């Protein structure tokens, strides 16, 4: 009877896990995403409603882009709004289909998260940038290369005292954009409102130094990318115009240019109206790529059986029953060891590892050196050069340890590894004791 109950409990647990994994994530309902049904700050519901009220043809694409040719849309004269990175990964065939669609005589407005990190793109910065660059390369058939350019060589590094400033640097802030060309596209438009994250202007080199940087586009094509909008910094390009066959790609480095939070600004609405007059012909449609942001009106068996979540779930169920069978066998069951509670040392090591990953090594070294020098000054009643002379004159303190201490405290140039510094500090402390 007991074995039967355990088996039933295991089966129930597997079913619950299967349903939880395959069901839509609750995050999709709480995080604002750029689709036509989302009324949050990043949604496009206000834009969609505004277009309908002004009798502009709109279409919510809730299928893979590969099927856009099957929809009741004109062959040319349409514009699609695409936000990057996508919440649902697009297949290579979808990017190829979108490239052909644009090349046939349509327009794509790309709203990329290059200078801002909305919640729906909340992934590691390198991963997000990699996804955006791959998408642009696929969309433009690799004619244009999106890359970072460092604009200065001055080192800028956060110390322990700058932690609050670094936190504020990654909070969204209002930002203003300005026309870079004299064109009817900006008729009656002198500034556009958007949102940016100041900390995303920083680039970390191989030596862990931070530099100011901006995104640029390089091309070997004779038809170069046209800079049409710039940011508050003159060298910062906010939007490029890229040719693609008979069509055009408007690439914005700011994702919130026509979202619900900024469309209240009259200049943004006027600019988008001008954009429509230049790109959408009579009978053309404004297409919203809703499929990749949580809205779908189809069951795609190919996508279902190709979904990694299904494969991972089946593997988990198989592994669960294998472990259960091995664990229930008296001959194969391993010897159960006594659970060891974490000691104080384990907690200290875990916290040390956390701060090592979050705080720069140079700042940690500077703080460790300052604490040691303060301790020596208290014991010897010496300060400044007198303290350093005392260290040099001490027979039990090596010059190597003093040199590492000077590098860490900023007395001399150069770097020292944390593990070497801590060993030197330990040896000096033993001498003092």
Q: Kindly report, residue by residue over 244-269, the tens digit of the pLDDT.
A: 889 999 999 999 999 998 988 899 99
Q: How far is CA 121 from the centre of its chain?
A: 6
Sheet with 144-150: list strands edge to edge.
144-150, 210-219, 202-204
Per-chain mean pLDDT for the chain: 79
Q: How far is CA 231 from the centre of its chain?
A: 20
Does pLDDT of 127 surpass 80?
Answer: no
pLDDT of residue 395: 83
* pLDDT band, residue 219 (cuts 50/70/90): confident
Strand partners, 111: 83, 252
* pLDDT band, residue 178 (cuts 50/70/90): very high
Please list the residue range(s) of the chain that carry CATH number 3.40.50. Answer: 31-298
Q: How many CA atoms lie within 13 A of 126 on its CB side?
A: 3
Structure-block tokens of residue 4? 């039967």
Q: How many CB atoms lie within 10 A of CB 99?
A: 20
31-298 is classed in which CATH architecture? 3-Layer(aba) Sandwich (3.40)
Long-range contacts of 425-431 (CB under 8 A, 24+ apart): 425/368, 425/369, 425/372, 427/397, 427/398, 427/401, 428/372, 428/376, 428/391, 428/397, 428/401, 429/372, 429/375, 431/394, 431/396, 431/397
**Greater confidence, 6 or 69?**
69
pLDDT of residue 81: 96
* pLDDT band, residue 389 (cuts 50/70/90): confident
43 three-class SS: coil
pLDDT of residue 157: 46
What percent of the chain has pLDDT above 70?
A: 73
**Greater confidence, 155 or 218?**
218
Does pLDDT of 404 surpass 50?
Answer: yes
Long-range contacts of 237-243 (CB under 8 A, 24+ apart): 237/180, 238/115, 238/177, 238/194, 239/177, 242/140, 242/143, 242/144, 242/217
pLDDT of residue 28: 45
Which range, of 15-19, 133-137, 189-193, 298-302, averages the lowest pLDDT? 298-302
């Amino acid at each position: 009877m007991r074995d039967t109950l355990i088996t039933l409990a295991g089966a129930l647990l597997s079913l619950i896990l299967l349903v939880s994994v395959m069901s839509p994530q609750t995050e999709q309902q709480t995080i604002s995403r750029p689709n036509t049904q989302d009324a949050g700050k990043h949604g496009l519901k206000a834009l969609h409603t505004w277009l309908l009220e002004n009798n502009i043809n709109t279409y919510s694409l809730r299928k893979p882009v590969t099927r856009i040719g099957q929809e009741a849309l004109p062959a040319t004269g349409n514009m699609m709004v695409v936000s990057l990175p996508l919440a649902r990964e697009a297949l290579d065939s979808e990017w190829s289909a979108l490239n052909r669609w644009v090349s046939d005589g349509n327009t794509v407005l790309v709203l990329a998260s290059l200078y801002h990190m909305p919640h729906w793109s909340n992934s590691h910065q390198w991963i997000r940038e990699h996804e955006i660059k791959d998408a642009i390369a696929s969309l433009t058939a690799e004619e244009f290369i999106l890359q970072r350019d460092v604009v200065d060589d001055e080192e800028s590094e956060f110390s322990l005292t700058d932690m609050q400033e670094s936190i504020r640097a990654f909070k969204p802030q209002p930002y203003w954009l300005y026309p870079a060309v004299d064109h009817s596209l900006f008729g009656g438009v002198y500034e556009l409102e958007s949102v940016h994250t100041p900390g995303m202007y920083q680039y970390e080199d191989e030596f862990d130094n931070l530099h100011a940087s901006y995104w640029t586009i390089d091309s070997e094509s004779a038809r170069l990318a046209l800079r049409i909008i710039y940011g508050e910094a003159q060298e910062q390009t906010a939007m490029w115009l890229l040719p693609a066959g008979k069509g055009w790609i408007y690439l914005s480095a700011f994702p919130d240019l026509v979202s619900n939070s900024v469309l209240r600004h009259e200049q943004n609405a006027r600019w988008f109206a001008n954009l429509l007059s230049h790109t959408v012909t009579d009978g053309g449609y404004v297409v919203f790529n809703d499929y990749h942001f949580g809205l779908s009106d189809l069951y795609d068996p190919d996508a279902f059986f190709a979904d990694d979540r299904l494969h991972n779930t089946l593997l988990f169920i198989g592994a669960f029953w294998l472990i259960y069978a091995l664990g229930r066998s008296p001959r194969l069951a391993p010897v159960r060891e006594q659970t060891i509670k974490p000691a104080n040392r384990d907690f200290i090591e875990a916290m040390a590892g956390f701060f090592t990953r979050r705080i720069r090594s140079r700042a940690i070294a500077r703080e460790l050196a300052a604490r040691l020098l303060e301790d020596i000054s208290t014991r010897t009643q010496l300060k400044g050069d007198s303290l350093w002379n005392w260290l040099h004159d001490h027979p039990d303190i090596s010059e190597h340890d003093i040199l590492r201490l000077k590098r860490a405290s900023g007395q001399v140039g150069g770097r020292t590894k944390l593990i070497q510094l801590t060993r030197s500090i330990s040896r000096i402390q033993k001498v003092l004791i």
